[in-house]
Amino acid sequence: MKTYPVIIITQEMINEAKKFIESVKVNRTVASKIDTLTGILGEFAFAQYMYNDWRKNRVGKNKGDVDFVDIEIKTSAFPFRDTLNLLVREDYALKRKPPYYVQIILDVKDKRADKIIAGTKAFIAGWATSNEVDKAPKRDFGSKLSKYGGYKCFYIQIKNLQPMSTFKTEYYKNH
């Protein structure tokens, strides 16, 4: 298995993320009780990875827009394995074309976890371009609440994503 950058989720990050849940929640996409918290913590983890400061995020200012300039963060809370997928809802992919998608997995102990605790590892799993996502296969992955999600997602297995070791060079080449 490849190695992946890891950011440790702190209690301070969790406390700050909880302040934003109600203002950033998107009800049509809630797939678990911790979905919104998961997404916020993913953005915090990416900011820590990219800028060495988890506070350099746009949470609360980016609803309806990409998470960072030209970067959409996709975060899931599951026990980590590289056969998990970067998932991009079909309707989202048709509306927006961020140049980069980055997948983050919050490594919880159980796939039905209903809380995220301090010390949880956030694996910065890899990245893909919008073009790569558009060429990926699609299927309904359901949700943690139901066998069916009611929508299809483009998917790319984590082990097939571009490695994060190439991301910053690629990103800064274009910015």
pLDDT digits (tens, 9 = 90+) for 6-43: 999 999 999 999 999 988 877 655 567 898 999 999 99
Distance, in Å, from the CA atom of 58 to the CA atom of 86, rounded to the nearest integer, reads 21
Determine the pLDDT at residue 28.
Answer: 54
For residue 93, is it within any domain?
Answer: yes
pTM of the model: 0.92
Distance, in Å, from the CA atom of 119 to the CA atom of 11, rounded to the nearest integer, reads 8
Determine the pLDDT at residue 1.
Answer: 65
For residue 129, is it within any domain?
Answer: yes
For residue 87, is it within any domain?
Answer: yes
Residues 96 and 21: beta-carbon distance below 8 Å: no
Name the residue range of residue 44's domain.
6-173
Count of domains observed in the chain = 1
For residue 63, is it within any domain?
Answer: yes
pLDDT digits (tens, 9 = 90+) for 117-163: 999 999 999 999 999 999 999 998 876 555 666 789 999 999 999 99
For residue 90, is it within any domain?
Answer: yes
Q: What are phi and psi of 19, to 5 degrees?
A: -65, -25
For residue 1, is it within any domain?
Answer: no
Determine the pLDDT at residue 136.
Answer: 97
For residue 124, is it within any domain?
Answer: yes
